[in-house]
Every structure is written in C-alpha cells, then in structure tokens.
Structure 1
Amino acid sequence: MKQFLDDNFVLQTETAQKLYHEHSKGLPIIDYHCHLDPKMIAEDHKFTNLSEIWLGGDHYKWRAMRTNGIDERFCTGKDTTDWEKFEKWAETVPYTMRNPLYHWTHLELKTAFGVDKILNPSTAREIYEECTAKLQTPEYSARGLMKHYNVEAVCTTDDPVDSLEYHLALKKEGFSIKVLPTWRPDKAMAVEVPANFRAYVEQLSNVSGVSISKFSDLIVALRNRHDFFASVGCKLSDHGIEEFYAEDYTDAEIEAIFNKVYGGKELTQEEIIKFKSAMLVEGAIMDWEKGWTQQFHYGAIRNNNTRLFKQLGPDTGFDSIGDFTVAKAMSKFLNRLDTDNKLAKTIIYNLNPRDNDLIATMIGNFQDGSVAGKIQFGSGWWFLDQKTGMEAQMNSLSVLGLLSRFVGMLTDSRSFLSYPRHEYFRRILCNLLGNDVEQGLLPASEMKFIGKIVEDVSYYNAKQFFKF
C-alpha cells in the first residue's frame, strides 16, 4: 500500500517517477492566467492567519462546506471569527475525499508550510496555529510565497478601465517576478442590461479620454486602453463567454444596436448576439496586431441561485457547467479571422468535458505552421482542473493533436497558495507518459526525448509561446 502524498504521489511507475523527479520537479512556474490581486503583490501583503489566505474568496471551499451542511455564516458571514470558519472547513475536509479539494488542501499544507498531518477536526487547532505563526514571518508574505514556489511570471486578469497602477509600481521597482496584466473586456460586451452598459461606457470614456457617442468611438476608446495595457507589458487577452458568437452583421447594424442600448432600450436576443460577435472580432484584430495571445473561457452558467446571488453577489459558488452548442460558431469565428490573415495565437478552454474532442480537432483546422501550437486546447479549467479532467484533456489533445506542443498548466486562482496545482498537473503528465512507456506504448529507447516533452509542457513551451 502506497503512503498518501509521498514523494511519488500520483506517480504509479518507476518511469513516471523518473520523468517527474528528473525532468519536471523544480522547474519555474509561468502562471499565465490567474486572478491574483496585483495590489497585494505590490504592497507585499502579510496574511493575518490561515483563514485569510485559505478561505477568503474561495468559492470551491464554500461549495463543499455548504454541501456538508455548514451554515452560510461560516462561509461568507461577518459574524463569525476566522478560527470558527477554519474549524468548519477542517470539519468538512474529511468528507471531501475524492474531490480535488482533498488533494489540493494537503498539497498546499505540505509544500507551503511543511505540514504532513491530515487535516481533520482533531488536528485543526494545531495546524491552524502552526501555519498562522509561519504567516507572520517575511517568507510567507505574498511575494515570499511566490518566490518560495519559484514563480517566474504571473498574468493577472484586468478590466480595460483598470489603472494598472500596481503593475506600473512593480515594473518601476524592478520586482524579480514578472507581474503582467491581461486584457479582459467582458463588461464592454455586456449589453444585456442597458443601464449597466451605459455606466461602463461612461467610465471607459473617462479613463480613455475619448468621447463615446457611437460604436466606432467605443472601439477607439478600447484601442486607446489596449495600447496602454501593451505599454505595461500585457501580452494576453481573455474572454469569459457563455458560447462563441459569430453572427453575420453590417457596420450599420452594429452602430444602430449600440445607439439603441446606449439610449437605454433593451436589445433583442439577435441584437445581443450580433453585438457580441462584432466585439469579439474587433478585439481579436487588436490582439493580432500586437502579437498577443487571445484566450476564450467558455461554457459556464453563472449565478444559478437567484436568492443567494442577490444576497452574496457573483463568484460565491453558484456557477455550473453549461451545455452550449458551439462548434459551428467557433469554427466560423476562427475562420473569419484566418481568412483575413488576422488570427492571433489562441487558447480555448471548455468547461463541459463533452467538448474535449471537439476542441482538439477544431484547433487543428487553424494551425498554419507560423508558430508551433499556434491554436491551443487550454488545460482543464475550473470544474475540470482535477486529476480526471486533466487526464481527459491531455488524452484528447494527445490522440487528436500534439501534446508535445501544449503550453501546460495555470492556476486560474485568487490564492497565493494555489501554485501546487502546477505540481499536481506535472505529476499527472509524467504519470500518463510514464505509464505508456511501461506498457510498451512508447519506446523506452526515446526516454531522452520524452523527458524533453515533459520539460517543455511543464515550462519551456509557455516561455517560448508567450515570450515573457
């Protein structure tokens, strides 16, 4: 019987162990998509206790706690102490066995704090006090943890109206780890509620210095901010969309739709889709012009629980996998850009695992030989960034594309303790390849090259692809 979380955790064969320990372990981390707060990095935030760094804003844990019968006040409430919230989390952890939270929890305790104990009600107080004490020392600040995990670069997620003041401060300081913004223009496409859209456009007008009264003005203002993001080091955009939008439209139609929604009138569903289609194209062209990589995270149904959304707001644990039909629209969108020779490097992340083979075949349609892996099937995202989900994504990519050109893992996290997800991914990658060698599905004589594939997918592909 193997010991839980030993040095060969997840690694089932000697070859897998060799691949991980000799080719992947210890390589730097490029976290090219995350939701870290740049202010916390710039100010080198010090964490008060383990609850602050571990439970604050973590909707993964909140979902599990609610499912375990824990009252909401121990998740998001203001009338409970940090210790009481942690105590309820510790009570929940044993019930998360086979959920990725169980692995993540103990990987984070071990790799960040050197704690090998299993978290449960009997160990909760000891673990809480030990980790909280360590958090008072300089090496456990926001920057200290990034250095501890050998992070080379992170890309935060930022709105076009953001000042990027903290990115600028870090750049001026010359902080050793690259902290770069990512262009996330979702609110500029959100025309479902006219009043909200107008308020956002007015905010964009103020920060860009562009008077916006028509659609073409909106694009000028966005270009202004796009240029500003580039000046701060931005190299990626990101779009959180339910599905791909690729309706035909004319310039006159889009101008009329903008005038209608900016004037406070609700749009029809057809008008909404046409507007979003135009915005995706305009944004993609901007990215292509600057040599950026565009990312698309699609397939989530958000804020399903109306009652709790009104009470707690977004990103509190009430989102789920959607079942959108996307192949034709995805193809049409990519093809339109490719036809005009304006298709930027692209990463597509699905939330529904049924789309794995769809994406793995779709990306092959638009590889043009200009860049290895120009169109990427993104790593398992959100509900899929766990062992089964990552294996399924890599298996589809392997049999229908080139795993060897994959740009690898990211945290997609708001937490400075999420970096072990890279280790988790690397172990799963090595286990897949190592098992193939042991079963004679890959040649043992090519171990040197297989080791190179591991190194590339773990680190070097991303470094080359994004050119940080």
Structure 2
Amino acid sequence: MHHRDAARLLPADPTTRSIALDLYERVATAPIISPHGHVPPELLLQDAASSDPVALLLTGDHYVTRLLHASGVDLGDLIVDPAAGRDGRTVWRTLAAHWHVFAGTASGYWIEEELDGVFGITAPLGPDTADRIFDEISAALARPEFRPRALFARFGIEVLATTDDPLDDLSAHAALAASDLPGRVLPTFRPDRYLDPDAAGFADNVERLLGATGRAGDFAGYLGALEDRRAHFIRHGAVSADHGVEEMLTLDLDPGEGERLFQAVVAGTANDAGRRAFRAHMLVQMARMSVDDGLVMTIHPGVHRNHSSATFAGFGPDTGHDIPVATEFTRGIRPLLERYGLERDFHLVLFAVDETTYSRELAPLAGFYPSVFIGAPWWFLDAPDAIARHRAAITETAGFSRSSGFIDDTRAFLSIPARHDTARRVEAGFLARLIVEGRIRVDAAERIIDDLVDAIPRKVFKL
C-alpha cells in the first residue's frame, strides 16, 4: 500500500480529482479543532519523550490489536513484558509480520499516514523492514521535536478536548491553561459511571460524588452534586458533556418517581426495568442541566461493551471487543426533545455506529430541531468510505450546516492529523462530485469546505 500520492483518497476520475484537489488544498493546513477526544491531558503536561514505537502506535489502539487478535495473535503477546522476553522490538515484529491483514483498513491507512507524515518513513512495513523502521522511529522519539508539546504545535491543533471524570480536580487542565501551549486543551464532563446503575461500583461512585460536593443523599442532592461538578468543569473551560449509553432511551419523570428510582438504584434493589428507566430519565436531567449551564450535550449510543467475557477478564475493557448494535433514535429521543428540543441555546449532538440511522432518523431530526446536530461518523465508521457514506446519507435531507464537523474521538495522539486529513480529503471529493454533477457551484463548495473544518465545529461546540 505505497500510496503517498498527493491526491490519495480523492475521486479517480481526472476532472473530479482536479477540482477535489483544489478544494482540499484550501483546508489542508487549516488548524485542527478537535472538540471530542480521549488524549490524556497529562501527556501534554508532562511532555515526556515517548519510550518506544509500540507504546505510541500499538498499545491501547484497539483498532489494531483487535485485527491482530482475529488473525490468531494472543493479546498477551502484544504487551511489552521484558520478564517474559517480550521487548518493544519483539512486539513490533509481530505487527510487521501481520501487516498484510491491514490492507484496505482505516487502521492500516492511518498508521502509514503517521509513519510518513510524522516520521518521514515511506518504506512499506513488513518482516524485512520491521527492525529498520523500529530503529528510525526510536531515534526520532529521542529528539526534542518529537515530544508531545512540540508535536501539538506542529500538528496545528487549536482546540483539543479531553474526556474527564466528574470528580477530577482538573489540575492538569489548569496547569496547561497557564502554560505556553499554543492551543486550548479543554476538559469534557463524562458522567456515565455516576448515572448508570449497571456501572461497576455505582453506589460507591454516587457516595463519592455526594461526599465531594457535601450534598444530601436524596435525588435533589444527587442532581445538585452533578450540577456542582459541571460548574467546576465550566470554570476550567469545558464546552461539552458526553454520554455513552447502549440504548438510546429517554424518559421524562416527575420528581417523586425520580426520587423513588434513585433510592432503589443506590440501594441495589431496582430491577432491570427500574435501572433502565433511571438511565433514561438521567439523560433528560442531563439535557435540563445543559439548557441551564450551556454545556453542549453529546450522546454516543449503540455499543455492546466487552462482548468477550474471557477477554474482559484477562485484559480489561477497551481491548477490541466492543461491538455495535442496532440503534433507534426517533422514539427513544422524543421525551427529551419534547421537553428541551426547541430551547434556543441547547445543542445536542447525536452520534451513531448504526449507518441505517443516518438518513432515516438523524438527518430528519437535525433537519427540524434547531437543537439537534448530527455527530461525525464514529468509531468503526470514521474511515474513508464510511465518512463518504455518512455525508451522502445526511446531506440531501439536512445539508452541511446540521453536522458537527469532523471529530477524531481518539486516544492515539499521533493519529489526530491523519484522521482530520482523511476527513478533509473525503469532504473535498464529495463536494467535487456535486460540482461536476452541476448540483452546487464552486464558490458554494469553497465556502462549505472552509466551514466544515472551522465555522461549523466552532458553532456546534460553542467555541
């Protein structure tokens, strides 16, 4: 896959390709706005030199480890463990030996983009080049220009949002805000473990939340505690609150029913239906808080977490076996939108890992409700062809202005520019096709591509 073509990912037809290249070049070097992601703030605060290529490109990247696992590699063999005779080079050789299985995947494309774009390595990865490439990356990582803060500047990141626990004191963010970093690093309020009765240690989490805020142990105190922590996040620059749920269900309950459910879920006596109702009601409460305090509300539904119990037991969460499920929005989100969908400054960004929802539900919802925006293709779908399918599915109903702009949603710091570049190329290709087909004018397409990387994410995330 030696694809270092300036027009990579752009349409094959020469006329369309040349228009797409012009559009892409308008935004190729535009600053990166990343309003939702998972890079730990400590990475930039400590600014430590990375230890080895495996820690940087493989460990924790479950896009990559899952396909190696599917190819027969034990996940344990991808963990650097000198005691077991597995150093970084050994693990890297394992990746190189299986590199052919990544042909045509987004993961393969991104890693090649990183090797070239970040390290200037264009040799194809394989068993015969593994050691040489490993040594080249290792040598580069020892140099000051490859430290995280230097790369942050080189990548042109203007805004980077992290994902943080509600009880985090956010001292890392305070220190970054006071530093000379040439962009903003914003926390994001992620309260799932305090809202979901099925989360590990839920009752203890609620107790810690109430203890940290000095609030009473009833439903009103619990809601007040969440409001207090949101205020703490807003003081540290947060612009959004993110919610991960398997089922897209909302319920608007009266306070008495909320109190009854709260006491039952904390005591551990609530049945399945009670826990489901509590989760659904808490999404409505989160929307209420967003209306009150202005935090953009983002919802990431539709993933069955930890599908393989044995893998979860052996290696923990986020190890490659979270699998999407069919997701229903129209009925599930209605109670929330009945209450808050017409509120003037409420912003609700809906993501999906179920492509069938794009044209059937998300585009029609965002094409009516001023509060609803369509989240970028997420997780398994932030890949070149899937981004193009998403754009095609939503645009005829909702246009370009009702989408969120691209969101990389990544823990892998080095992949941020590769992912944003991928999205910019795909958007350029899509717009070029509309121009060639006489569906939009060139000047309109130029404005749209500028907006997609700048004005739209700024507006949606209140930046």
TM-score under structure 1 normalisation?
A: 0.93
8 Å contact from structure 2 (residues 248, 332) kept in 1: yes
Residue of 230, 234, 237 corresponding to 1:233: 237
8 Å contact from structure 2 (residues 349, 404) kept in 1: no
Name the counterpart of 2:206.
201
Q: Could you tell me how far apart the structure 2 residues matched to 1:131 and 1:329 are?
A: 48
Aligned pairs for 1:190-339 (under 5 A) are 190-192=196-198, 196-208=201-213, 210-265=214-269, 267-338=270-341
Q: What's the secondary structure of 2:300's corresponding residue?
A: strand
8 Å contact from structure 1 (residues 35, 412) kept in 2: yes
Q: What's the secondary structure of 2:413's corresponding residue?
A: coil
Name the counterpart of 1:165.
171
TM-superposed deviation, 1:385: 0.7
Name the counterpart of 1:355.
357
Residue of 33, 49, 59 corresponding to 1:46: 49
TM-superposed deviation, 1:77: 6.1
Letter aligned with residue 103 of structure 1: Y
Q: Could you tell me how far apart the structure 1 residues matched to 2:55 and 2:136 are?
A: 14
Aligned residues: 453
Aligned pairs for 1:177-192 (under 5 A) are 177-192=183-198
TM-superposed deviation, 1:441: 3.2
Q: Could you tell me how far apart the structure 2 residues matched to 1:219 and 1:107 are?
A: 45
Q: Could you tell me how far apart the structure 2 residues matched to 1:99 and 1:354 are?
A: 21
Q: Could you tell me how far apart the structure 2 residues matched to 1:146 and 1:442 are?
A: 38
Question: What CA RMSD, in Å, does the superposition of the two structures yield over aligned residues?
Answer: 1.8
Letter aligned with residue 173 of structure 1: S
Q: What's the secondary structure of 2:332's corresponding residue?
A: helix
Name the counterpart of 1:418.
415
What per-residue deviation string (whole Å, max 9, x for no partner) do you get for residues 114-134 of structure 1? 111111111111111111111
Runs of 4+ in 1 over 6 A off after TM superposition: none
126-135 vs 327-336, which deviates more?
327-336
Residue of 453, 458, 462 corresponding to 2:453: 458
217-226 vs 452-461, which deviates more?
452-461
TM-superposed deviation, 1:96: 1.1
Q: Could you tell me how far apart the structure 2 residues matched to 1:239 and 1:205 are?
A: 20
Q: What's the secondary structure of 1:295's corresponding residue?
A: strand
TM-superposed deviation, 1:356: 1.1
Q: What's the secondary structure of 2:125's corresponding residue?
A: coil
TM-superposed deviation, 1:290: 2.3
Change (3 A) 1:77 1:175: closer
Name the counterpart of 2:346.
344
Q: Could you tell me how far apart the structure 2 residues matched to 1:253 and 1:306 are?
A: 35
What per-residue deviation string (whole Å, max 9, x for no partner) do you get for residues 169-200 of structure 1? 1112253210000111101111126x811110
Q: Where in structure 2 are there 5+ consecutive unaligned residues?
A: 12-16
Name the counterpart of 2:14.
none
Q: Could you tell me how far apart the structure 2 residues matched to 1:121 and 1:272 are?
A: 51
Q: Could you tell me how far apart the structure 2 residues matched to 1:332 and 1:429 are?
A: 34
Residue of 136, 142, 147 corresponding to 1:136: 142
Name the counterpart of 1:7.
6
TM-superposed deviation, 1:248: 4.4
What per-residue deviation string (whole Å, max 9, x for no partner) do you get for residues 366-393 of structure 1? 12xxxxxx42111110011111211111
> What percent identity do the matched residue pairs reach?
27
TM-superposed deviation, 1:459: 2.2
Residue of 113, 120, 126 corresponding to 2:126: 120
8 Å contact from structure 2 (residues 248, 327) kept in 1: no
TM-superposed deviation, 1:203: 1.6
Q: Could you tell me how far apart the structure 2 residues matched to 1:326 and 1:407 are?
A: 17
2:75 equivalent to 1:72:
yes
Aligned pairs for 1:17-28 (under 5 A) are 17-21=21-25, 23-28=26-31
141-150 vs 68-77, which deviates more?
68-77
Q: Could you tell me how far apart the structure 2 residues matched to 1:430 and 1:87 are?
A: 36
Change (3 A) 1:127 1:464: same
Q: Where in structure 1 are there 5+ consecutive unaligned residues?
A: 368-373
Q: Could you tell me how far apart the structure 1 residues matched to 2:10 and 2:289 are?
A: 43
2:368 equivalent to 1:365:
yes
Change (3 A) 1:90 1:3: closer
What per-residue deviation string (whole Å, max 9, x for no partner) do you get for residues 71-90 of structure 1? 22222463321111111111
TM-superposed deviation, 1:144: 1.6
